[in-house]
Structure 1
Amino acid sequence: MSAKIAFIGAGIATSYTLIPFLESYEKEKYNSEIEIFIIDKSNDFFKGMPYGSRSGKSVLLIQDLKNFITEPHRTHFKNWLDANLTELVEEFIDNGGMYATEWAQINSPLYKKGEWDDLYIPRFFFGKYINQEVLGRIDKLVNAKKLTLTYIQKETVSITKEANNFQINFEDNTTISSDKIVLSIGSLPYKRLFDDTIGNNENALYIKEPYGLGMEKNMGQIASFINGRKSKNLKTKIAVLGANASGLEMIYKICDKLNIDEYDTSFKTLSSHGVMPDGTFDAVKAKQFSAKHLQSLSQTKDLTASAIAEAAHKDIDEAEKQGLGAATTVGIISKGFGALLPNLSKEELLNFACFHGNQIGRRQRCAGNHYLSVVEELSNRERFEHIKGRFHGLTESSDGLTMTFKNNDAPNSTEDSETFNIVINCLGSVDLTSNDLSPFFKDLIKSGLCKPNPSKIGFKVDENMQASENLFVAGPLLAGNQIEDKIFWHLEHCARIIWSSNVLAKKLQANLI
């Protein structure tokens, strides 16, 4: 057997495809090497954006560890954490501010006893761990002369196919050829909200995405800008567009780096639902709450995805009327619609994955109180406000950046505006039909190598997880598909990425035989 496999994107999906794939390959008795290319425009090989240098070393998981990663992987990871504890915590504190020190002080009684499950740990811990896990398996096969591996730190601009061979073309006009490709490039690019050049660098700063340049580079720009205004006794108004994990992280990071006692900053977030993620679980009310609208569908014949979605939204509405946040009800509501999904036809299952799952998920966002406590502190000082509305536009004015937004989607809804000094785009990604889609994606679609599924955020794949013959898909671009007996409306969750990547590893192995 002889094969060349190129992984385009070197994040967690690639890592968790390689681990079981290489383990299986080691056990098989083949007479020839396999050649693998690992391609990424960043040098965060096997970590990816969330867990590598682009996110920095002082941000936390948005979930506690028990909900972040499943067994048996979690126990193995916890053993590694215990073995590397001192070095990891010191590195976290060295790279953070007062909140990093506070996190270590509050949680040390737990992690020193190996009790990690309920902790929202620094994300780079996981990046270091998984990097070592993959490299250990690679080194073993390379030393046994069963594997040739090449790292390519370049941006891929296009893929072409002739007969059974792919040509991968890079921005520097070089190319490589490969028999098979695993497309594993993470989430789609961020929406483009503002392309103009800033005219007044004293009054206006726009951050086009949290992690593109790297969190620390962004924070350097923000700190320099705010310090410049502070030296002239100027207040700084900050707008964070999007009430999601990255939005929370930006608020947390700014306040960690620039102490709120010392800097005159105020924050506003904008989101369509007007609700921040929730972090307070009420055990008593959780026992009293039931997803009655979902439960009422249990005996319904010819059940549809839209009926389940409608019931789920009614149950969320009811929870909100009772003052119950997502942290208390997410498990109940998710279990409620999860019990109904097996009653759907295959077509209706895909309808749920493509059209309804994410809409429900946007109303069930949770986060750790370490992040949310910063928002609470700002609110108590009347320096934080959440705006319910949809972004409409951004222009520079003499005082900064003026954002326009609408309060709802009604045709006659009024448009409001407010001017900020810093605007940070955390509104999320484009879809596969967007005019702002990168040339790389446009070319994949135009060539017919990949076809968007109805979700518009994922590519259609066959039962072997191929978008087309020998072009496999991993990670978030699998959204809107059914893989074996599971449907996926998004794959941002690490546990889902691990499961689907393990399936892909088996498909790749079978494809080589």
Structure 2
Amino acid sequence: MSTKIAFIGAGIATSYTLIPFLDSLTKQKNKPVELYIIDKSADFFKGMPYGDRSGKSVLLIQDLKNFISEPHRTHFKSWLNENIDTLQEEFIQNGGHLAKKWVENNKPIYSKGDWDDLYIPRFFFGKYISREVLNRIEKLSKERLLEVHYIQKETTGISKIKDRFIISFKDGSTLDVDKTILSIGSLPYKRLYEKEIKNPLNALYIKEPYGIGMEENMNRIVDFVKARKERNLKTKVAILGANASGLEMIYKICDKLPKDEFQTSFTTLSSHGVMPDGTIDLEKAKSFRPVHLEALSRISSLSAEMISEAAHKDIDEAENLGIGAATSVGIISRGFGSLLPKLNRDELLNFACFHGNQIGRRQRCAGNHYLSVVEELSRINRFTHLKGRFSSLEENNEGLNLIYKVHDSKNSNNDGHETFNLVVNCLGSVNLSSNDLSPFLQNLIDNGLCKPNPSNIGFHVDESMQASKNLFIAGPLLAGNQIEDKIFWHLEHCIRIIWSSNVLSKNLWASLTEKVAV
């Protein structure tokens, strides 16, 4: 009898767990395995960022050398060289003038096979990684070592009866399996505004960039802006959040609606009031030293809070010297990274749960292909950045009135407000203690199968990456844990997902023969 294993969520954490797992199955040829790949979308093995929901004209937020680790990068580049003609044609067909510009600027580089410094279209990677998984599945299926079932449904709950998992779906059906891997990606977006728009000519709210799909959202935005232009109405756009998805929305809107033709203005709102940085100053990088972190190297007994305080002081110093995040991030990261081995396990987890993300939020970086659009909008006085925290949205006669908290020098909060026509929520995700947590995640917590760790953005796992016996966690929900000798305060980057998924694959394989993973 075969072992039945369900993967809930079919993004790249699932892909990079399956690749080494299926390679092990090819070599060792144990008893047959039956896989159930479950996702509410059709982007199997690509996931939201690299599949159809993100569209085919958005780019990586990192250059390729910082996006994917070796030996995977070399293999990916070989695939790119073989398929680039078809890929670039598809990219141009689905993009606008900025997509054509990307090809014109970068074709002389990638035609020579030089990919490492490029911010490539994300769907390139989605096509590649799904093919890597499917090739293995097809081979093992022919050898009758593997049977795979694809289930495109929304999962609503998991229960455990003795040693079996019963997975429930929105349509009322269920599935009975031996092992489950929870790999659903990042937590759901915050719900900021749920009222019905009364005047669709003056107001449009996009509740999240990718939920229904980037392209569908873009179609709604294009129709809205064009309808306003026909009546000689300018469109004020508010992007809530200065993160990767916020930059992508600005880039996409300007790609589809060229700024010279459409009178759109843009405003972002973020708590730090700073846009990501994309320019490395090599001279300043040579002279800048994280003196506060370096001072801790002479102290034998450290706490996570001491390291965090020193890192923030060094970031303050960098900002005072006019040194951006792109220049300082590597220096600061190496500075606190060298100190982490001095922490005991409890303090390491303290850093992972409470401090790592706070440092990271102050050191956001992005490619200049996105930032150049913002710079051009700023040059023509059509971009502003508000420093504040979102409070509420209310529709009025002119659009959506954005109310936000402004922290002033007197240590108190004042309300700021401004009316916009188009508001896009890119403020990020809920946490595991939120009142509006999805019923599925709440079910996992309520029935005791998963327990939030102190970070409240990830589930506690044991040394085998199990939230409970035979329920494994993959991807972003591993935040706030130590895996082998590494701690993770977030797992949004592909390199971290590849590494952790490879460890998970070994643990999953060991569990098939009831071995204890080390």
Q: Quote the Cα distance in structure 2 between the aligned partners of 1:462 and 1:57.
A: 38
What residue is the counterpart of 1:383 in the other structure? 382
Q: What code does the residue aligned with 1:362 have?
A: R
- CA shift, 1:411, in A, is 6.9
> What are the Cα deviations for residues 231-258 of structure 1, in whole angstroms up to 9, with x where unaligned?
0000100000000000000000000000
SS in 1 for 2:272: coil
> What are the Cα deviations for residues 256-299 of structure 1, in whole angstroms up to 9, with x where unaligned?
00010000110000000000000011111100111111000002
- CA shift, 1:300, in A, is 1.1
CA contact (8 A) 2:182 2:471 kept: yes
Pairing 1:506–2:506 present: yes
> What are the Cα deviations for residues 98-133 of structure 1, in whole angstroms up to 9, with x where unaligned?
111111111111100000000000000000000100
What residue is the counterpart of 1:464 in the other structure? 464
What residue is the counterpart of 2:369 in the other structure? 370
Q: What code does the residue aligned with 1:131 have?
A: S
> What are the Cα deviations for residues 341-370 of structure 1, in whole angstroms up to 9, with x where unaligned?
000010000000000000000111111101
- Compute the TM-score of the two structures, normalised by the length of structure 2: 0.98
Pairing 1:217–2:216 present: yes
Q: Quote the Cα distance in structure 2 between the aligned partners of 1:411 and 1:421.
A: 32
How do 1:405-444 residues align onto structure 2 when only pairs under 5 Å count? 405-408=404-407, 412-444=412-444
How do 1:72-83 residues align onto structure 2 when only pairs under 5 Å count? 72-83=71-82
What residue is the counterpart of 2:354 in the other structure? 355
What residue is the counterpart of 1:18 in the other structure? 18
SS in 2 for 1:296: helix
Identity across the alignment (%): 69
- CA shift, 1:85, in A, is 1.0
Moved more, 90-99 or 401-410: 401-410
Q: Quote the Cα distance in structure 1 between the aligned partners of 2:160 and 2:394.
A: 43
What residue is the counterpart of 1:116 in the other structure? 115
What residue is the counterpart of 1:340 in the other structure? 339
Q: Quote the Cα distance in structure 2 between the aligned partners of 1:160 and 1:33.
A: 25
Q: Quote the Cα distance in structure 1 between the aligned partners of 2:269 and 2:308.
A: 25
Q: Quote the Cα distance in structure 1 between the aligned partners of 2:33 and 2:85.
A: 38
Q: What code does the residue aligned with 1:281 have?
A: I
SS in 1 for 2:279: coil
Pairing 1:8–2:8 present: yes
What residue is the counterpart of 1:446 in the other structure? 446
Q: What code does the residue aligned with 1:188 have?
A: L
SS in 1 for 2:413: coil
Q: What code does the residue aligned with 2:140 have?
A: L
How do 1:286-305 residues align onto structure 2 when only pairs under 5 Å count? 286-305=285-304
Q: Quote the Cα distance in structure 1 between the aligned partners of 2:135 and 2:307.
A: 45
SS in 2 for 1:118: coil
Pairing 1:228–2:227 present: yes
How do 1:170-189 residues align onto structure 2 when only pairs under 5 Å count? 170-189=169-188
Q: What code does the residue aligned with 1:27 have?
A: K
Q: Quote the Cα distance in structure 2 between the aligned partners of 1:274 and 1:265.
A: 21
SS in 1 for 2:477: helix
What residue is the counterpart of 2:203 in the other structure? 204
Pairing 1:455–2:455 present: yes
What residue is the counterpart of 2:86 in the other structure? 87
- Cα 1:411–1:434, aligned 2, differ >3 Å: closer, same or farther? farther
- CA shift, 1:408, in A, is 2.2
Q: Quote the Cα distance in structure 1 between the aligned partners of 2:29 and 2:417.
A: 66
How many pairs are equivalent? 512
Q: Quote the Cα distance in structure 1 between the aligned partners of 2:232 and 2:29.
A: 71
What residue is the counterpart of 2:320 in the other structure? 321
Q: What code does the residue aligned with 2:441 have?
A: F
How do 1:263-282 residues align onto structure 2 when only pairs under 5 Å count? 263-282=262-281
CA contact (8 A) 2:304 2:350 kept: yes
Q: Quote the Cα distance in structure 2 between the aligned partners of 1:408 and 1:416.
A: 10
SS in 2 for 1:506: helix
Q: Quote the Cα distance in structure 2 between the aligned partners of 1:302 and 1:351.
A: 15
> What are the Cα deviations for residues 192-216 of structure 1, in whole angstroms up to 9, with x where unaligned?
0001000000100000000001000
Q: What code does the residue aligned with 1:296 have?
A: A
Q: What code does the residue aligned with 1:500 have?
A: S
SS in 1 for 2:400: strand
**Which runs of structure 1 show a deviation greater than 2 angstroms over 4 or more consecutive aligned residues?**
408-412
Q: What code does the residue aligned with 2:321 have?
A: Q
What residue is the counterpart of 1:492 in the other structure? 492
CA contact (8 A) 2:29 2:145 kept: no
> What are the Cα deviations for residues 441-495 of structure 1, in whole angstroms up to 9, with x where unaligned?
1110000000000000000000000000000000000000000000000000000
SS in 2 for 1:418: strand
Q: What code does the residue aligned with 1:506 have?
A: K
What residue is the counterpart of 2:241 in the other structure? 242
Q: Quote the Cα distance in structure 2 between the aligned partners of 1:26 and 1:114.
A: 32
- CA shift, 1:407, in A, is 1.3
Q: Quote the Cα distance in structure 1 between the aligned partners of 2:64 and 2:128.
A: 14
What residue is the counterpart of 1:194 in the other structure? 193
> What are the Cα deviations for residues 391-423 of structure 1, in whole angstroms up to 9, with x where unaligned?
011111111000110112987311111100000
What residue is the counterpart of 1:47 in the other structure? 46
Pairing 1:310–2:309 present: yes
What residue is the counterpart of 2:516 in the other structure? none
Q: Quote the Cα distance in structure 1 between the aligned partners of 2:308 and 2:29.
A: 49
What residue is the counterpart of 1:70 in the other structure? 69
What residue is the counterpart of 1:128 in the other structure? 127
- Compute the TM-score of the two structures, normalised by the length of structure 1: 0.99
Q: What code does the residue aligned with 2:132 have?
A: E
SS in 2 for 1:107: helix
Q: Quote the Cα distance in structure 2 between the aligned partners of 1:265 and 1:16.
A: 41
Q: Quote the Cα distance in structure 1 between the aligned partners of 2:321 and 2:87.
A: 42
Q: Quote the Cα distance in structure 2 between the aligned partners of 1:170 and 1:359.
A: 36
What residue is the counterpart of 2:160 in the other structure? 161
> What are the Cα deviations for residues 118-165 of structure 1, in whole angstroms up to 9, with x where unaligned?
000000000000010000000001000000110000000000100000
SS in 2 for 1:218: helix
Unaligned 5+ segments in structure 2 are 514-518
Q: Quote the Cα distance in structure 2 between the aligned partners of 1:386 and 1:319.
A: 21
Moved more, 122-131 or 399-408: 399-408
**RMSD (Å), alpha carbons:** 0.9
Q: Quote the Cα distance in structure 2 between the aligned partners of 1:195 and 1:411.
A: 32
CA contact (8 A) 2:8 2:38 kept: yes
- CA shift, 1:2, in A, is 3.0
- Cα 1:442–1:411, aligned 2, differ >3 Å: closer, same or farther? farther
Unaligned 5+ segments in structure 1 are none
Q: Quote the Cα distance in structure 2 between the aligned partners of 1:58 and 1:66.
A: 20
> What are the Cα deviations for residues 59-114 of structure 1, in whole angstroms up to 9, with x where unaligned?
00000000000000000000000000111111111111111111111111110000
SS in 2 for 1:4: strand
